[in-house]
Structures are given as structure tokens and as C-alpha cells.
Structure 1
Amino acid sequence: MLTCLANNFLATLSSSQVTSVSYSLTSSNATGYWSNLPTTLATRHGVTLGSLTTAQKTAAMAMLNAALSSSGQTTMSELLAADDYLANYASGYGSGLYYVSFLGTPSDSSPWILEFTGHHYTFLASVNGSYVSLTPNFVAVEPVTWTSGTTTHTPMATRRNALLAMLTGLSSTELATAKLSQAYDDVLVGPQKDGNYPSTKQGIAVSSLTSAQKELVKAAIKTYSDDANGTGQSDAYTTETALASTYIAWASYSDLSTKGSYVRIDGPRVWIELSVQNGIVLSANHYHSIWRDRSTDYGGNFTF
């Protein structure tokens, strides 16, 4: 399905646009052109949503939505809306400044990647015969909440609340065991930090937790991994075997509200981080977070 929709999108483009979205499937192309910075400060590959005709954008959105579950589609639309909100206060923001590109040629037999990237949201959907990965998936938001008309938007509340429930489900002793000695002002394995995992797992082992506590860990993982449409990543992360080798940890503040709050989940494959930071455009805090997969980031095509 994703390959078919990718080719449908390509068919709507002019020859110059096809050239603009097409790149070789190399490590440098995969890792080097996504960022948490606005597009005025960091180079992206591809064509912007804002440059597309109505028909082209319709085809692009059909393709992007196919990579995502229903919850993933909501995540994407809400984070694009957040960037549109920021555009009211500063230049260099907006949903029209999100880029679409392909690494490799969309095919049912050869590996390729659909990259969608902009200021506060990126996914790299990797296909290798079948759809195998939505990671790296950078999910961030400023502002954390805003109101448009009568609608209040809180795009990352489900993630933040599930991670908070995971931490508050620990006893005081367990919470102390899970605390990291180092402070973090951003995610550790973010853009251009591929493979920057700690050499040993830190925090508290999920294997030591009760069944109810393990369910809270699984729920927190799924707020990220359930955004993928059919990659199998979510199920792989939450088996008893996987959880037996998973650790959770936090730093500085466990309330996930105070600036400097930080939390992570580190499994045999899954890596999730959330960092609470000062606002950049607005005064309130904002969130950075990342979901990675040690095995299938970029489709498992590269080693870091």
C-alpha cells in the first residue's frame, strides 16, 4: 500500500519536483537532513507541503497517512497545527514548511525510505519488501497547549501523561533507584545523534516491577509505537521477553512539568525519551521527545 501510494504521489509531480524528492539510500542522506530546528536553521531534503498543488498535496497526505495509524495521523495533524500556531508569532514556522522526500526508489523488492520532516515532527518510514519501521520518529511541541476557537489542543498530553503514570506508579524506593545522576537538557539520541546510546542500561529494571507497573510501562511505550501502521514494532517492544530486558529512568524532576524534567525507556530495541524545556518562541515550557528502534531505525539499513 505505502509503495503504491508513494508512486501515485510521484506521478503527480513535475520532472524537476521528482528530482527534488529523490535521493540515494545512504547513511548520510538518512541521518543528516532532519532536525528539531526550524527549516530556516537546518537544511532538509525534498519538497515542502506548501509548494504542492492541491492535487499533489492530496496525494502526499494519502501517502503520509498510510504510514500512520489513526493515532499517528492525529499526532501528525496536531503537531502541524502547532507549527501553524507558532507562525502567528515568528517567521520560519508553519505546516507548509514540512518536507517530503524519498531515499531510494519506492519499490516492493528493494529497500527505500519515505522521509517526512519539519520543525517539531519527523518520521522515516522504511520499507524493505514490507513496511518495517517508522523510526527515527521525533515528536515535539511548542506550545504544549493552546486554544483555537473553542478547541483546546494538547498534542503530546497522552504521551506525557502515560510516562508520568509510569513514574508515579513506582514506590518511593523504586523511584529513587530509577533516578539518573546526570541532568539532561534535551534528548540524548536526537537528530544526528544516531547510535549515541549509553553503554549500559540505567535506571530500574522493568523485570523487577509488578504486573500492574509493567502494564504502565507498556502503555507508555504504546503512546509512541502505536502511531505506526502495521510495522509490528509495538508488539515487539511489549513482549515479556522484551520487557525483561527493559529499563526505565528519569532525571532532575519526575513531575514531567518542571523545566529539566526528563524520562526514558530503554529496551532491547525500543528507545524513548522525553525532555521538558524552556519555550523558544513562547514563554511556557515545551517538549522534545524521540522514539528510536535499535534494530530497525532507517529500516536497519545502516550500522551506528
Structure 2
Amino acid sequence: MRSATLLVSAGVLLTLMGSNQRSSRSAVRALRLPTAAAHAHGSASVKGTKGVQQTGTVADVVTAANAFLATLSTAQQATVLQTFNATNVVKWSNFPIAGYNGRIGIRLDALTAAQRTAAMAVVQAATGTAANEGFDEIQQIRTADDYLVSTGSSSTTFGSNIYFIAFLGTPSTTGTWMLQCGGHHSATNITFGGGAVTGASPKFEGVEPLTFNAPNSNVLPAGTPCAPQAQEQAGMLAMISGLTTAQQTSARLTQTFNDLVVGPQKDGLFPATRVGLQCNQLTAAQKQLVVDAMAPWVKDVDDATGQQLLAYYQSQIDNTYIAYSGTGAFNAISDYVRIDGPNVWIEFVVQRGAEYPTQIHYHTLYRDRARDYGGNFYGSYTTVLGTKPSTNATVFTAYPNPVASGQGIDVVLAQTSKSATYQLRNEIGQTVANGTFSGIKTKVPTKGLAAGLYLLTVQPSGEQPVTTRLTLQ
């Protein structure tokens, strides 16, 4: 076994397994932060994020967590403090509250302004300081929801304060616990153990629209230009554009992707075989483009941990694969790209706009096979029985979309199934239609339904339910 020792930052020594070493639960997971002396905290407010304030040590995160808890009533504390177990850690989603009501913790709009400031101070202490990444990116994604409301979307479905924060376990510098914060298009899951960061994933990020100006001062100063995922798109574009024509052919997938493969509630369901182009066939410059493409996701956690994780993934680069589908420009519906390493998993998909159907929007996800949820529940060798990984593209198609109200929606399964059911829900989660398939087809009625966003869930026999968005006009 070959090993390399990397000095990451002041007072931090991380031993990395060689790139030919298979990842496992025994791989290094204790991503320790620098000592308190290594950070000089600025006086920036929670709203002022442009790299002014440094991220904190685990002790700083715990201090901020306890300060937030001190602002809460006993009942509110009970809502925030949840059990750290396999059932609770997976309660996050990309959907707005109308599409997923299973999140735990307390909603930001149930807090006073002072309590919200204290809540977001915890998130800021635990996340990165770079512009458009880390805490700044979270704030921009929250602001995107306010922008949707300002242009006519439902204020009961979208909004910068329709986000949740929870502590799974008791915040401490000795025990195991997790910070979970999320809502529409944002899910942050950072796990701590023994005074160290043991996992910075799963991490979901999406955005609609792609660029906008803050419509108010709820989160960022009004008029602030926002493009929270521009760096993610640019990194993936540079990675694929840097390949030769022959390499692009090797990296290209034949499938069409409408959503993420290992998205919310698909923990541990990684594809059994890595596909695409193996990075041991790349030049040093091309390998660096792959590492650079990882960085916007990996560095969303605190700066020191992000550097350590990125260095670790770089040490595994020769056993990492890259693959894509669609145009390769990542500006058209169903464009898709992934980075799949012994540990790291990052995927990026372009979808039709949900609130702006003539535009596009992004869904992205970062996972770590050994470190999701600190490696406590869904590590590399977790066996998942009775389910198969599913994506919309491999399960069903639904058309037309958008659809005129009153017109039926044709839904066709990708393959035969002993039985299959569907459920159509509106923006507030009410079931407005449901039924079964006849063979591989069914027609979902929309007569009498109001224009707006709907969620269609299809569940073939023996498969996980898969949900897609439909727009009625």
C-alpha cells in the first residue's frame, strides 16, 4: 500500500491513501480544522458574505449553535434538536415545500429576525468563504426564491425563509452530530465527530433562474447580482471542452438524463459500474481541469476541510471517471455530466425551467461514498436490498410538458412492469389525480386543474417512486 502525507494548513496533517488504494469506511474521514488561533474573525454580518469573514473551527460552530439555541423557547429547541439516525439524516430534498414536506427542524419563517440571524450564523461558521460558493451560494439560492415570488410565483411555496435548520444530535466538540439546513434547491448536511468534520455531504444545489438581481433586502442587499452556479457550469464546461475529440467520444453516454441519478432519498444507490473516460488517460493539464471542476462543490464546506477533501480526491484522480450526455455545453435541456471517483460523486443536469418553462435551470449534487453523513449510515459497502437506482429518463416519459389545462398527459413506462401507479399533486401537496397503468401507458387527466406547477410521481412494481415536475398552462 502506497501512502502520501499532505500538509494542508497550519496545524493540520492529513494522511492520504494512494490513488491505487480502494476507498472504504476505514479511509481517513477525520477532516480536522485549524486551531482557533489560525482564524481571525471579521465583524461582517450574516448578510455580508463576499469573503469578508473566515469560517470557524468546530468549536466556533458549536458556540454559534449554542448561541442560536439560547434564543429559542423550549418548544422551539425541541423542534431544532433531532435524533441523529438513518431515518432523519435523509430528510432533505431539492423540491420546494409543496413537493416535499418531510424536512425536519424549524422553518426560518417561524423565527424572529434575531433568531434567524443566529441560525444563519451557525451555517456561516460551518461553510466556505469564497464568493459564489459556501455560505454566499446558500444565500444567493435563498434569494432566488424571493426572486421567483417577485415575478409571480406562489409565496406559500417559495421564499427565502421557507428553509429549515436542524441539529441532529447535540452540538459538541466531542460527540457526533450533524448540521442540516435546506429548502428549495439547497440542502447542506455537515457531520461532526470528536471535534472534527467527518462529512460534508450530501450537498444539493440548484437554481432558477440562472442569473438575477436580489429583489429585496431579505437576504442580500437589494439589487445584488446573483449567479450562484455559474462557476459550477463553467468548471464542467472547461473539463469537457479540454478533451480531445476521441476522448469526448469515450466520455459520452448514450442515455438521456432528465434528473440526477443519486438524488434525494437515493442514498447509497450509486451505479455498480463506473462509465465514461478514466482519468488515467488524461494529461496532467486535463486532470487539473477535472480537479478544478470538483472544487466549486467540494469547497462549499469550511475552507480548511474543503482543501483537504479536494486534495484527497486529487490523489484518487487516476481511478476517477468523467462522463457526459447531451451537447457538452451544459446550456440545453437534458445536458448532463458527472465525476465519479473512488470516493467523490458529483453530477450536474440541465432541466427545463419549472417556473420559467422557456428557460433552463440546474440541479447538482455532491456525494462521497465513504463520508456521506460522516460515513455513519451509507458508506461504500452498504448493501441496499429491494430497490434499484432510478431516474426519470430510465423509468418513464411524460408529454406534453408544459401542457394546456384540460389536455391529458401521456405517461409511458420505459419497460414493462407487473404493476405501476401514478400520483399527481399540486403546489401545496394535495393529490389531484391518481391511478394505475394499463400495460406500459396511462393518460393523466388535467380537466378542471388550475394553471401552475404540479408533481407527477410514478412507481413501477419493485422500483422506487420517481417524481418529475409538470407545468399546466
The residue type paired with residue 59 of structure 1 is A
Q: In the alignment, what sits opposite 2:272?
A: 199
Q: C-alpha root-mean-square deviation of aligned residues, in Å?
A: 1.3
1:80 aligns with 2:146: no
Q: In the alignment, what sits opposite 1:40?
A: 98
Q: In the alignment, what sits opposite 1:252?
A: 326
Matches within 5 A, 1:139-154: 139-148=205-214, 151-154=224-227
Counterpart-to-counterpart distance in 2, 1:115 and 1:8: 17
Q: In the alignment, what sits opposite 1:178?
A: 251
> 1:34, 1:191 within 8 Å by CA — same for their partners in 2?
yes
1:4 aligns with 2:77: no
Residue 50 of structure 1 and its aligned partner are, at CA, apart by 1.8
Residue 274 of structure 1 and its aligned partner are, at CA, apart by 0.3
Which of 231, 234, 238 in structure 1 is aligned with 2:310? 234
Which of 273, 280, 294 in structure 2 is aligned with 1:221? 294
Residue 69 of structure 1 and its aligned partner are, at CA, apart by 1.0
Counterpart-to-counterpart distance in 2, 1:141 and 1:12: 31
The residue type paired with residue 252 of structure 1 is G
Residue 227 of structure 1 and its aligned partner are, at CA, apart by 1.3
SS at match of 1:184: coil
Residue 153 of structure 1 and its aligned partner are, at CA, apart by 2.2
Q: In the alignment, what sits opposite 2:203?
A: 137
Counterpart-to-counterpart distance in 2, 1:151 and 1:258: 26
The residue type paired with residue 148 of structure 2 is L
Moved over 6 A (4+): none
Note the alpha carbon deviations across 1:275-300, whole angstroms, 9 max, x for none. Answer: 00001111210000000111111111
Q: In the alignment, what sits opposite 2:76?
A: 17
Counterpart-to-counterpart distance in 2, 1:132 and 1:8: 23
Residue 133 of structure 1 and its aligned partner are, at CA, apart by 2.0
Note the alpha carbon deviations across 1:15-60, whole angstroms, 9 max, x for none. Answer: 00011112111111111x2111111221211111222112211211
Residue 234 of structure 1 and its aligned partner are, at CA, apart by 2.1
Counterpart-to-counterpart distance in 1, 2:70 and 2:234: 42
**Richer in helix (by share):** 1
> 2:259, 2:351 within 8 Å by CA — same for their partners in 1?
yes
> 1:67, 1:134 within 8 Å by CA — same for their partners in 2?
no
Note the alpha carbon deviations across 1:205-244, whole angstroms, 9 max, x for none. Answer: 11110111111101001111011103332221122xx101
> 2:291, 2:310 within 8 Å by CA — same for their partners in 1?
no
Counterpart-to-counterpart distance in 2, 1:145 and 1:98: 21
1:90 aligns with 2:153: yes
Uncovered stretches (5+) of structure 1, i.e. residues with no partner: none
The residue type paired with residue 51 of structure 1 is A
Residue 150 of structure 1 and its aligned partner are, at CA, apart by 5.8
Matches within 5 A, 1:149-160: 151-160=224-233
Residue 116 of structure 1 and its aligned partner are, at CA, apart by 0.2
1:243 aligns with 2:317: yes
Q: Percent identity?
A: 40
> 1:179, 1:250 within 8 Å by CA — same for their partners in 2?
yes
Counterpart-to-counterpart distance in 1, 2:166 and 2:271: 31
1:125 aligns with 2:190: yes
- TM superposition score normalised by structure 2: 0.62
Counterpart-to-counterpart distance in 2, 1:9 and 1:156: 29
Counterpart-to-counterpart distance in 2, 1:289 and 1:200: 21
For the pair shown, the structure with the greater C-alpha radius of gyration is 2
Is the alpha carbon distance of 1:8 and 1:150 closer, same or farther for their aligned partners in structure 2, counting shifts above 3 Å?
closer
- TM superposition score normalised by structure 1: 0.96
SS at match of 2:232: helix
Counterpart-to-counterpart distance in 2, 1:139 and 1:247: 22
> 1:133, 1:233 within 8 Å by CA — same for their partners in 2?
no
Q: In the alignment, what sits opposite 2:372?
A: 297
Q: In the alignment, what sits opposite 1:100?
A: 165
> 2:68, 2:118 within 8 Å by CA — same for their partners in 1?
yes
Bigger relative contact order, structure 1 or 2 (CA pairs below 8 A, ≥6 apart) = 1
The residue type paired with residue 78 of structure 1 is Q
Residue 301 of structure 1 and its aligned partner are, at CA, apart by 0.9
- The alignment of Structure 1 onto Structure 2 pairs a total of residues equal to 301
Q: In the alignment, what sits opposite 2:352?
A: 278
SS at match of 2:233: helix
1:189 aligns with 2:189: no
**Richer in strand (by share):** 2
SS at match of 2:161: helix
